[in-house]
Chain A
């Protein structure tokens, strides 16, 4: 069964304290892995797409990496405005033109001054 698991469920950091979020997956025929950020009361906001093992993407303090079994979202020197829930989703394959995304439950990140 296709599955996406994110860890930890919640993470509390001090401002400037770097850390990583994990997204492990078991899917048949990975097409792509997506990272989203979600603020309270808002919809998920797209951050990155990774397509193949070894690929990396960066945006400001965030860096996403991908292996054959998991992805990491590294947060370097976080600021309070990085506080949000980070969602990982895997594109498991096409079926008649349907982009099937399987989402993890997310990691709630709180960055304190």
Chain B
């Protein structure tokens, strides 16, 4: 298994609170991605990173920000959580842009 650790694995919080999810990799891969998975929608890209301090938006980036200060860590922040952000969040990594992405086991986030 690719060395990807997501934390926390589960979180329940209230609307309006800030939330940070962490993705840690031990593979030294350049590319890191954050997705959300919702019933009927498949996986949708939120943000991605192509190097330390190099990030860009995906298709559903509104309400989310990311940071990558080290190769191994990619943080996803919800500045002010809303109920529509209740979802399962997955981190993925790949060594090169043309290589398959490998996924962590996800964070289940509930916003009440």
- B-contact 0/1 string along A39-81, CB 8 Å cutoff: 0011111100100000000000000000000000000000000
A46 in contact with B42 (CB, 8 Å): no
Report A-chain residues with C-beta under 8 Å of the C-beta of B4. 43
* Interface membership of B12, Cβ < 8 A: no
B interface majority secondary structure: strand
User: Which of B50, B102, B106 has a CB less than 8 Å from the CB of A98?
Assistant: B50
In the complex, residue of chain B having the shortest beta-carbon distance to the beta carbon of A6: B42
Cα–Cα distance between A84 and B53 once the two chains are bound (Å): 36
Total interface residues in chain A, CB < 8 Å: 26
Cα–Cα distance between A25 and B26 once the two chains are bound (Å): 34
Q: A43-B106, A44-B43, A103-B42 are in contact. Are A98 and B97 (CB under 8 A)?
A: yes
* Interface membership of B25, Cβ < 8 A: no
Cα–Cα distance between A97 and B44 once the two chains are bound (Å): 18
Report A-chain residues with C-beta under 8 Å of the C-beta of B101. 34, 46, 99, 101
Q: How far is the CB of B22 from chain A (nearest CB, A)?
A: 15
Sorted nearest first, the 3 A-B pairs with minimum C-beta distance are A43-B103, A103-B42, A103-B43
A residues near B (Cβ < 8 Å) are: 4, 31-32, 34, 36, 41-46, 49, 87, 89, 91, 94, 96-101, 103-106
